[in-house]
Amino acid sequence: MRPALLAPADSAPTAPAPVNPEVVEDLRLDALVAAMADGDDELRDLVRATVLAPLTDLAVLRHRQDVLADCLRHPGAVRALHDLARRAVAAERTVLRGAASGQAEPLLNRSRRVLGLFCGFLRELGAFADRHGRDFHSAGLTALLADVRTHVGAAYLDGVEELLRTMDFDNGIVLSARLGEGGKGVDFRLHEPPGPGRGAVPRRLRKSGLVHTITGHHEQDWRALAAFRGRALAPVAEAAARSADHVLGFFVALRDELGFHIGCLNLVDALAGLGVPTCLPRLHPAGERVLTARDLAEPCLALGTGGPVVGGDLDASGSGLVLVTGRNCGGKSTFLRALGLAQLMAQCGMVVAARDFAVSVATGVCTHFTRAEDRAMTSGKLDEELARMSRVVDLVTPGALVLCNESFAATDEREAAAIATEVLHAFVDLDVRVVFVTHLHELARTVHDGALPALSLTATDGFRIVPGPPSPTAHAGDLHARIFGDR
């Protein structure tokens, strides 16, 4: 039994779309992950790994979205189910593994205790399925709860608990065997143990009057008896341990798969408290080049400032290159991060920070943002930028998304424009979608004049990004006047 809350049970695992390591810093992903984890270190590691593993399989993504939609409709029930799974996993850890836990009898005793604990949690799970079976509509949750009702009902668990009581062997063990070569015992078979007050050997097994008695007067007698008992119990102990591990694996998977959805619920709650809208995005195949947004916001900025942020609308469908220019502090970098975060979040099956968002899945997501001077650099800043861009080129394939923020600004404008033009030509020829934020007017003018097919956007004074021709200035004078006042 598998939870199948992140992907259909019959889907084959696929490799995630590549993401360059700089994405974490450039998009400020740690703030997003922290909001999803809500102080839970275990959950933080889980959601971070999931966000950095974007998917391209639309069937898997829609399955995940459907489960999340159920979670958003019934957050209290889903949190209770996640808590049940966490308690089950934690309970197993309380059953200590002794120094001799690899031997048959200690292994059996521990496995019996663990399975006994799990029976209680499985009863809770069955009660949950009975209460909420009609509440959910996604394939993932309905199949999970149906499996629980079918396979671990009360009658089944009663039988398991009775079997566990039988396996305590407090009244001894009964087994049969035959003599093999050299007089060694072979074909050991364990039988139902005698109950209290019954003789040690059932009458039906008394086929011979031959009897061997161990007196217990010598240590080797006890050792031989313990080895004999361990050999008889070994198959049962191993089967019980496998069963305990199987049930533990189910609860761990349930905890982790629900944990992703709990992280999404935490994020939705945090953003709603800041007045930031969220929605489940509409996803399209990679080749369709769909990209539209309404009131797209940068969630990490809102989480960092503790208040609402300005959102924006976008229609870049059909465009392989989007060029963004305009005034300093006009929201260009914020827009770029919002777009990158939305792409990653959409391809993880999450909500995005927008009222509406539609996008084609990308075969990879890479960033190339300008860096501050670093005294530890062993080469020039331009060399460092070129080296990072080379690593991006190595990662991307047709259909990927590359987000560039002031790339190649480390050199003079003419050289920077020449380098950027060549890079953009290569990306466009490779069918890689690029969103390029720049102050390089020569580059912007070259692109706008038809050197490359592009959608031109510009930053306004109200922190919004709108369609418009490239701005010839970063409006540094306006910014100076705003900060220091007119003189």
Q: Where are the domains of the chain?
A: 55-167+247-273, 282-484
* Strands, sheet with 356-360, edge to edge from the N-terminal-most edge strand: 282-284, 356-360, 291-296, 312-315
Work out the average pLDDT over 408-424. 89
The reported pLDDT for the residue numbered 32 is 98
Work out the average pLDDT over 109-126. 96
Quick one: DSSP state of residue 440?
A: -
Q: Which CATH class is domain 282-484?
A: alpha beta
Q: How confident is the model at residue 207 (pLDDT cuts 50, 70, 90)?
A: low
CA distance 333 to 372: 15
CA distance 421 to 413: 12
Mean pLDDT rounded to a whole number for the chain: 88
The reported pLDDT for the residue numbered 72 is 98
Q: With pLDDT > 70 as the criterion, what percentage of the chain qualifies?
A: 86
Phi, psi (5° rounding) for residue 295? 60, 45
Question: In the predicted model, is pLDDT for residue 454 greater than 70?
Answer: yes
Which residues, 6 or more positions from 358, have their beta carbon under 8 angstroms from its beta carbon? 281, 282, 283, 284, 290, 291, 292, 293
Phi, psi (5° rounding) for residue 251? -70, -35
What pTM was estimated for this model as a whole? 0.87
CA distance 278 to 271: 8
Pair of tokens at residue 375 = 């005294």
| Contact by Cβ (8 Å): 460, 326 | yes
pLDDT tens digits for range 323-360: 999 877 768 999 999 999 999 999 999 999 999 999 99
pLDDT tens digits for range 249-277: 999 999 999 999 999 999 999 999 999 99
Pair of tokens at residue 215 = 């007196």
Q: How confident is the model at residue 394 (pLDDT cuts 50, 70, 90)?
A: very high
Least confident of 129-138, 182-191, 238-247, 426-435: 182-191
Residue of 376 and 132 predicted with greater confidence: 132
